[in-house]
Structure 1
């Protein structure tokens, strides 16, 4: 990467639509969204942003907005509809068209192989709790490397092993919709083993690009500086960050993390001795970081594990986390938050990046997601999202400071390229630089933030480039 990557990001199920087109198979998300379990915001991704039919318009607008990179994910079910077995030429050709369009508009693709959407057949057999899914994923990854390797120089194996498993097995708001941390740790282990296996396969296939993982990571902070609060910070760092980053970057699990799981009595028999070689061989070339907010913690003071999330934005459900024997989430009453309880605290990204620089000094970082969800309003054909402009600007100022202070950051992607389906949050929570008018043929309308981002890249972009020559 000779130049700093300035881009934005999407994920297949969140934007593509075309759920029954192109030979696509069913994923766990199609099944969930059409089931009686989908009750919080009962909508589907059947059409979503209709990117399946409008990808050229979206990539063209991205390029016209000054962006030189596009992060998107491939739907496993378009490549191998049943998750294993026959591949679909129609699905493969769809992504060839996307990649050719990126080239046409001089946009560097960063391709994520897995972003939450698991083939339904594999899901029904236990999903990531089943070790067979690991090998199925590696075989799928090999097909992608074989088919698209000459067009893709930046790969990401898995999106957010931490956050996905929190939602699947902690909060229980993503399929399989259960609350069981023992199942979380097992699923996460297999996700990370699959990631390492894909990295290893890419190297065996003499891949000519770079391959990393996308980790939602957090600056873990506390409102008090006491031994008890410091212990809570350490425990939360294990729970959210080191459980993913340590093995992905160093190829070895944090001993503190393993010791804690054992002391809690979790069955770790699925962690096999022969996997250690895979993890060592599967160390990432870069660490993708999805940076949104900090995690404020306090000491655990009693009670059972509780994890709830505000997915409605109406204030009826609070974000609450108590991890028995580990820590509890705290709240700063003086910081601004959006309707979903996300704290708007830009300095968190600087604190996080400097922590990562200290822990993993030789691993480049790409900010693979950063953005703000909001109730955007279309008024007189415009969206004046000055709140998003201020959010992005403040984050970029802190990222620039981290670069100036020696952190090796290679790129920055806004979440998201356009408005899209925000998983269990539905469609009202909008992140896009481009407004999608879902009521009027999914028309695209650039927001003020789209124009601001273009101007920022023009005026400030070279200051970031200078750091990575």
Structure 2
């Protein structure tokens, strides 16, 4: 780890330090911002299908237009540069690059992302690229989706094609974003695409998403050995609601089925006994070796999944108290107060520090990146044409300080990416929830940097010993 910067932002914790070269950035995802779902040769994804089903999203919102980033990407990158954001985590749309999930890449999709990545380079913005952020091509879903093992193989093929076509345009690559959400929110809870409510399908999807990570890592190792590759997991901080044995066991169970099911295979090469105890009935075994002919965890899977990566991505939003549930064994949980976000999520920065320390001490010595962290608020444009989101500034100040304190305590954290660069299609919540540092007026597609965007840019400039970028006199871009 390189020497920490001696430049402190006056609003951050006095203990917060950051290494030279620390990646300060923002993040987005393709389906949430691009729109243009039927342009440029793009095929339908499971989110196109899901969002067009009645009752699946607030107000029936879809990503058909979203932020129209497909047509406005140059202006969006210009605004990012103007605000002084040096790194950008983006995702590639699998259905735009490979519309059916098989066969050669779509030339128009390749050209779009080639231009986007070149546009980042031209503006001095370093891209961090995610291969999969939940937009499975619908034809692959029709053929079984993530519960089917062959989908992982198709993803490995896709990753190899992307490495050949675009791999030279970015150094850092994330294989899968939040397999927990793709597996369980999409296949068990039914609140995200494809909308299934079947624990067996969710467990199968979870293992195959991890297998897809391993296959994608192998594809990049073969084609782009110089690339730095990792996976991003969402990790909540969990504590028992009381000191009772029942609440302690409930917390361990929730940890096993939400955190450990994804951390242990990648960084320890096996599923935890507690995870197998919860999901063994669906075919999950610790290693797959001597599994008696099971078709889920097969010999060699865990070796692929746990092959050494180059960094560990961590998304963090939740700090929860867990209590024993009803007779079904399902724990009850609630977010730790204060909960100022419009989602009702907590603002407890120490939880992120705890998560970073846990991953570093229990799982891996790899560099860590906070690849998502942010808050939804009831943002609006005031009569002066400004968006004054002081609560978001307070949130960012606290969580960034927590990252810096973790670094001061010896954790090797190399980057922080605020979610999100701009307001966007927030999955099943449609356009109701606003995570952005930049306000988007969806009717006009006008972009208005919020106060938090200027604060973040100023904080980055201070950390880099630079001068804060001049604020746009217009206060917005068209």
Does the aligned pair in 2 maintain the 1:161–1:191 contact within 8 Å?
yes
Change (3 A) 1:200 1:375: same
Q: Which of 328, 332, 340 matches 2:332?
A: 328
Structure 1 CA distance for aligned equivalents of residues 409 and 249 of structure 2:
27
Q: What is the aligned partner in structure 1 of residue 408 from structure 2?
A: 404
Give the number of aligned pairs. 437
- Give the C-alpha shift of residue 355 in structure 1: 1.1
Q: What is the aligned partner in structure 1 of residue 314 from structure 2?
A: 289
Structure 1 CA distance for aligned equivalents of residues 245 and 252 of structure 2:
10
- Secondary structure at the aligned position of 1:49 is classed as coil
TM-score under structure 1 length normalisation: 0.89
- Give the C-alpha shift of residue 238 in structure 1: 1.1
Q: Which of 107, 110, 125 matches 1:92?
A: 110
Structure 1 CA distance for aligned equivalents of residues 465 and 156 of structure 2:
38
Does residue 389 (structure 1) correspond to residue 393 (structure 2)? The answer is: yes
Structure 1 CA distance for aligned equivalents of residues 184 and 303 of structure 2:
27
- Give the C-alpha shift of residue 216 in structure 1: 0.5
- Give the C-alpha shift of residue 258 in structure 1: 2.1
Q: Which of 418, 428, 432 matches 2:436?
A: 432
Q: What is the aligned partner in structure 2 of residue 355 from structure 1?
A: 358
| Structure 1, unaligned runs of 5 or more | 305-323, 464-469
- Give the C-alpha shift of residue 272 in structure 1: 1.0
Structure 1 CA distance for aligned equivalents of residues 331 and 366 of structure 2:
29
- Counting only pairs closer than 5 Å after superposition, residues 155-304 of structure 1 correspond to structure 2 as 155-262=173-280, 265-268=281-284, 269=294, 270-281=296-307, 283-300=308-325, 302-304=326-328
Change (3 A) 1:446 1:206: closer
Does the aligned pair in 2 maintain the 1:76–1:114 contact within 8 Å?
yes
- Give the C-alpha shift of residue 397 in structure 1: 1.0
Does the aligned pair in 1 maintain the 2:57–2:430 contact within 8 Å?
no
Give per-residue Cα distances to partners, 1:80-113, cap 9 Å, x unaligned: 1111123211110100000000100111110000
- Give the C-alpha shift of residue 170 in structure 1: 2.7
Does the aligned pair in 1 maintain the 2:372–2:419 contact within 8 Å?
yes
Does the aligned pair in 2 maintain the 1:222–1:296 contact within 8 Å?
yes
| Structure 2, unaligned runs of 5 or more | 3-19, 285-293, 467-478
Q: What is the aligned partner in structure 2 of residue 118 from structure 1?
A: 136
Large movers: runs of 4+ above 4 Å: none
Structure 1 CA distance for aligned equivalents of residues 130 and 360 of structure 2:
24
Structure 2 CA distance for aligned equivalents of residues 148 and 453 of structure 1:
30
Higher mean C-alpha displacement, 171-180 vs 133-142:
171-180
- Give the C-alpha shift of residue 178 in structure 1: 2.4
Give the aligned CA root-mean-square deviation in angstroms: 1.8
Does residue 132 (structure 1) correspond to residue 150 (structure 2)? The answer is: yes
Does residue 101 (structure 1) correspond to residue 119 (structure 2)? The answer is: yes
- Counting only pairs closer than 5 Å after superposition, residues 441-452 of structure 1 correspond to structure 2 as 442-452=445-455
Does the aligned pair in 2 maintain the 1:293–1:346 contact within 8 Å?
no
Change (3 A) 1:23 1:343: same
Change (3 A) 1:432 1:204: same
Q: What is the aligned partner in structure 1 of residue 34 from structure 2?
A: 16
Higher mean C-alpha displacement, 221-230 vs 73-82:
221-230
Give per-residue Cα distances to partners, 1:233-267, cap 9 Å, x unaligned: 222221111111121223332233224322xx223
Structure 2 CA distance for aligned equivalents of residues 456 and 62 of structure 1:
15
